[in-house]
A = this chain, B = another copy of it.
Amino acid sequence: MKNDKIRVGIIGANTTNWASKSHIPALKLIPEFELTAVGTTKLSSAKEAAEKFGIKYAFDNAFDLVSCPDVDLVVIAVKVPHHYKLVKAATEAGKMIYCEWPLGNGTKEAEDLTEMAEAKGLRTFTGLQALSLPETLYLKKVIADGLIGDVLSSGIIGSGGMWADIRSEENLYLIDPANGATMLEVPFAHTLAAYLHIIGKYKTISATFARRRKEVTLLTTGEKVPQLSNDQVVVSGILEGGAVSNIHYRSGMSAGTNFLWEINGTKGDILITGDLGHYQLTPVNIQYAASGNKLQQMEIPTEFLAAGIQTPGQPVRGLYFAYKAVLADIRNNTRHVPDFKDGVAMHKLLDNIRISADEGKTIAL
**Chain A residues with a Cβ under 8 A of chain B:** 150, 152-153, 155, 157, 204, 206, 208, 210, 212-213, 232, 234, 236-238, 242-244, 246, 248, 250-252, 254-257, 260, 262, 264, 266, 268-269, 271, 287, 289, 291, 293-295, 360-362
Contact = CB atoms under 8 A, between A and B. Distances in A.
B153 A248 contact: yes
A54 to B, nearest CB: 40
A295 to B, nearest CB: 5
A237 B242 CA distance: 22
Given A152-B212, A206-B360, 4 more contacts: A155-B248, A206-B236, A213-B266, A256-B271
Contacts of A208: 204, 206, 236-238, 244, 246, 362
A232 B152 contact: yes
Contacts of A252: 264
Given A152-B250, A153-B212, A255 B271 contact: yes
Q: Interface centre among A150, A257, A289, by most B CB within 10 Å?
A: A257
Nearest to A239: B210
Contacts of A262: 157, 254, 256-257
Contacts of A360: 204, 206, 361-362
A268 B208 CA distance: 23
A331 to B, nearest CB: 40
23 contacts: A152-B212, A153-B232, A157-B262, A206-B360, A208-B238, A208-B244, A212-B243, A212-B244, A234-B244, A236-B236, A236-B246, A244-B250, A246-B246, A250-B264, A252-B264, A254-B262, A254-B264, A254-B269, A255-B269, A255-B293, A255-B295, A360-B361, A361-B361
Given A155-B157, A213-B266, A269-B255, A232 B244 contact: yes
A interface, by DSSP: helix, strand, loop or mixed? strand
Cβ-closest 3 pairs across A and B: A360-B362, A255-B289, A232-B244
A13 B21 CA distance: 67
Copies in the complex: 2
Nearest to A364: B360
A295 B255 CA distance: 6
A262 B256 CA distance: 7
A298 B227 CA distance: 32
Contacts of A266: 213
A35 to B, nearest CB: 39
A270 to B, nearest CB: 8
Contacts of A255: 268-269, 271, 289, 291, 293-295
Contacts of A260: 257, 260
Nearest to A260: B257
A256 B257 CA distance: 13
Contact of A210 (B206, B242, B287, B289): B242
A293 B155 CA distance: 26
Contacts of A244: 208, 210, 212, 232, 234, 248, 250
A243 B248 CA distance: 13
Contacts of A234: 236, 244, 246
A208 B250 CA distance: 20
A231 B360 CA distance: 24
A237 B248 CA distance: 11
